[in-house]
Amino acid sequence: MEHRVASRYAKALYQAVVPQNLLGAVDDDLTAVAALIANDLRFGPFLVNPNIAREEKAAILDRVFGDRITAVTLHFLHLLMNKRREEEIPLIAQEFSRLRREHDHVLLIDVISASELSNEHRQAIARKIQTATGKSVQAQYAVDPALIGGVKVVLDGYEIDGTLSGSLGRLRERLLLDLLKQN
Amino acid sequence: MSADRKPLLPYPVTLVIGVLLMVAGMYVSTSVHIAALDALRKQGILLDPGKTVASIGVLIILFPVINAFYVRPLEDAIEARNSQLEKTFTEAETLRSEMTGMKQAYEERLKETEANARAQIQAQIQEAQTLRKSLMDDAASRADALVKKAQEEIAAERDRVLADLRVATVTLALNATEKLLGANIDDEKNRRLIEEFIEKSEVPV
């Protein structure tokens, strides 16, 4: 439900800013605001506190973001406050980023490896994905020692698993399936 | 009963006869001398026919009185007693007949009851035997079912334990493998894995 609401707001904003060529700027603004909500222990609760008047919230927003984000983004944040949709800002930011990537033909991928990847490997992975999909690649890298060795790529709901833990997991599932079939 | 007896003569007649005999006897005793009696008197036999006749006359006079006040009540009492005894005997006989009849009836009923009891006992015995057989069969079938169920449960439990054992074995083996891999992986091997991934992995389009 919340995702559908966030999707509607994000789509409306997207349709409003594309003609103005502000897609990148608004996306950066929303990403920054969402990051502030996620990281600042006071700003997030302040924004969703129903006991604080809208005017006071608007004044604070103007003071904090007035000279840092575009007028469209600021106006959009005011609109969300008037509609009591402050809690949706992180989801709207995510959805808007997805729309932006779609617009720019950019594919977001998560690359998770057992140890830090070299630049050479990073570029090789991005190049392989880019060649296969025909889209630009925006990669997010993470390290998970539990993978033991190898690398795993997550894109568009798919997972390409080349890790040792993944292989062991598949082996485990296959063995257990065989055992179940025996029973 | 005494009323049925009629005297031979009416009492006034017998009274007159008695008085006449009494007077005549006294007269003979006091006034008439009978020579034949002297010889008897000499022999010690004091016979006086006059007094004897007078006594008979007195007896004839008194006999109805004695008969009325003593003999007849006595006869009536004896008659009543006899009647009572006869009645009692009759009742006793009747009771005896009734008792005999009742005894026969009781004996017949007793025989009938015994026959019924025997029949009922036989029927109950047969029913009990049937019930016993039914219960035995039921118990046997239940026991068989329980044994079968227990065997199935044992088999299922055995299979489950074996499956758990196999799963535990697989888990242990894979955990050991995971630890071995973790201990043996180095940068070179990791690099080769990554390069193999880049070379061979298929990207969904």
> Domain holding A60: CATH number?
1.10.520.20
**CATH number of the domain within which A141 lies:** 3.40.30
Residue from B194, B199, B200 whose CB has the most chain A CBs within 10 Å, to mutate: B194
Last residue of a domain, one of A53, A76, A102: A102
Residues A97 and A119 in one domain: no
Residues near A32 by Cβ (< 8 Å), separated by ≥ 6? A68, A69
Residues A115 and A163 in one domain: yes
Residue of A nearest to B184 (CA): A148
Please determine, for residue A183, whether its predicted confidence score (pLDDT) is greater than 70. no
> Does B167 contact A at CB distance below 8 Å?
yes
Number of domains in chain A: 2
Torsion (CA) B122, B124, B128, B134 in degrees, nearest 10: 100
Residues A47 and A118 in one domain: no
Last residue of a domain, one of A73, A102, A131: A102
The whole domain housing A31 covers 2-102
> Does B169 contact A at CB distance below 8 Å?
no
The SS3 of residue A36 is helix
Please determine, for residue A2, whether its predicted confidence score (pLDDT) is greater than 70. no
Distance CA A133, CA A108 (A): 12
Please determine, for residue B31, whether its predicted confidence score (pLDDT) is greater than 60. yes
Question: What does the pLDDT look like over A24-42, one tens digit per residue?
Answer: 999 999 999 999 889 988 8
Per-residue pLDDT, averaged over A154-174, amounts to 90
**Confidence class for position A179, pLDDT limits 50, 70, 90:** confident
pLDDT at residue B116, as a whole number: 94
> Does B164 contact A at CB distance below 8 Å?
no
Residue from B177, B197, B199, B202 whose CB has the most chain A CBs within 10 Å, to mutate: B197
Please determine, for residue A148, whether its predicted confidence score (pLDDT) is greater than 70. yes
Per-residue pLDDT, averaged over B147-172, amounts to 90
- Predicted complex ipTM: 0.71
Question: What does the pLDDT look like over B47-102, one tens digit per residue?
Answer: 888 899 999 999 998 888 888 899 889 999 999 999 999 999 999 999 999 999 99
Q: Which residue has the higher pLDDT, B157 or A47?
A: B157
pLDDT at residue B125, as a whole number: 94
Nearest to A148 among B178, B198, B205 (CB): B178
Residue of A nearest to B191 (CA): A150
Mean pLDDT of chain B: 89
Q: How many contacts (CB atoms, under 8 Å) link A and B?
A: 79
Residue from B201, B202, B205 whose CB has the most chain A CBs within 10 Å, to mutate: B201
pLDDT at residue B98, as a whole number: 92
To the nearest whole percent, how much of chain B has pLDDT over 90?
51
Per-residue pLDDT, averaged over A91-101, amounts to 93
Under 8 Å between Cβ of A97 and A31:
yes
- Whether B166 sits inside 8 A of A179 (CB atoms) is yes
What Å distances lie between residue A172 and A161, A178, A179, B114, B174, CA to CA? 15, 10, 10, 84, 7
Residue of B nearest to A181 (CA): B163
Residues A9 and A97 in one domain: yes
- Domain ranges for chain B: 2-105
- Whether B201 sits inside 8 A of A153 (CB atoms) is yes
Per-residue pLDDT, averaged over A119-130, amounts to 92
Cβ-based contacts of B171 with chain A (< 8 Å): 172
Distance CA B118, CA B111 (A): 10
Please determine, for residue A84, whether its predicted confidence score (pLDDT) is greater than 70. yes
pLDDT at residue B171, as a whole number: 87
Cβ-based contacts of B172 with chain A (< 8 Å): none
Distance CA A11, CA A5 (A): 10
